Amino acid sequence: MGVIRNGTLLVACLSNSAGFPDFSNGGTGDPISPPRMFMTTKNFRFKSLAFQSQSGRCYYCDLPMWQDHPEHFALQFGITLPQSKQFQCTAEHLLARQDGGPTSRSNIVAACLFCNQKRHQRKIALNPVKHKEHVKKRLFVQRWHPVLSAKLNAEVRKTMGG
Ligand SMILES: [Zn+2]
C-alpha cells in the first residue's frame, strides 16, 4: 500500500457522504454480508481477466468499476469515496459456489460489489439472467445505483466523446 498523499481530497469526499447508504455497515438497514475479504489467487486472476474482457463494466448493471484505486474513480466521476465503494470490481460466480459453481474462467464474471451483494442477499440467488433482468428494470426506474447511474453514464458518454 502506498501512502495517500492527497489527504484533503479524501477528507472532502468522506465529509460529503450524507444521504447515501454506507455499505460498510449496512446503512440502509438491510443486512449486508461483508465482502469476501480473502480472495484466492485464482479468483483474483479470473476477476482481472473478466474485468478486461468486459472493458471494466459490471456484468449486471453495465456501469464502470474500479479494481485498485477507488480515490481515482471517485475523482474521475465526481462522486464520493464511500459512493465509489459500490463500484468495486468483484469476482462473481455465475453458478454460486454454494451450488457447486467452480472457480473457473467460464464461471466467473466481473460484477460491481453492489450487484454482487444484492444477488446473494436473497435466500435463493436469482440465476444470472434473471438477476440481470432485475437490475436493468431497477436501473430503468432509477432504483439501482440511484443518482450515481445517471451521473456515471453522463460521465462515460463524455469520456467516450459521444
Ligand atoms: Zn453492477
pTM given for the model? 0.71
What pLDDT is attached to residue 98? 84
Tell how far the Cα of 89 is from the centroid of ligand 1, in angstroms. Answer: 9
Tell how far the Cα of 117 is from the centroid of ligand 1, in angstroms. Answer: 10
What pLDDT is attached to residue 135? 97
The CATH number, out of the four listed (2.60.40, 3.30.40, 3.40.50, 3.30.1330), of the domain defined by the range 40-160 = 3.30.40
For ligand 1, a single-atom ion, the residues with CB < 5 A are 58, 60-61, 112, 115
pLDDT band at 14 (very low <50, low <70, confident <90, very high): very low
Question: Does position 27 have pLDDT exceeding 50, yes or no?
Answer: no
How do residues 36-94 score in pLDDT, each as one tens digit?
545 578 899 999 999 999 999 999 999 999 999 999 999 999 999 999 999 999 999 99
Tell how far the Cα of 141 is from the centroid of ligand 1, in angstroms. Answer: 15
Tell how far the Cα of 129 is from the centroid of ligand 1, in angstroms. Answer: 13
What pLDDT is attached to residue 150? 78
Query: What's the mean per-residue pLDDT of the chain?
Result: 79
Alpha-carbon distances of 81 from 23, 75, 100, rounded to whole Å? 12, 8, 35
Instruction: Give, to the nearest 10 degrees, the angle between helix 70-77 and helix 148-160.
Output: 80
Tell how far the Cα of 65 is from the centroid of ligand 1, in angstroms. Answer: 8
DSSP 2-70: -----HHHHHHHHTT-TTS--TTTTTTSS--PPP-----HHHHHHHHHHHHHTTTB-TTT--B-BSS-H
3-state secondary structure of 90: strand
Whether the CB-CB separation of 89 and 67 falls below 8 Å is answered with: yes
Domain boundaries of the chain, sorted by first residue: 40-160
Tell how far the Cα of 6 is from the centroid of ligand 1, in angstroms. Answer: 28
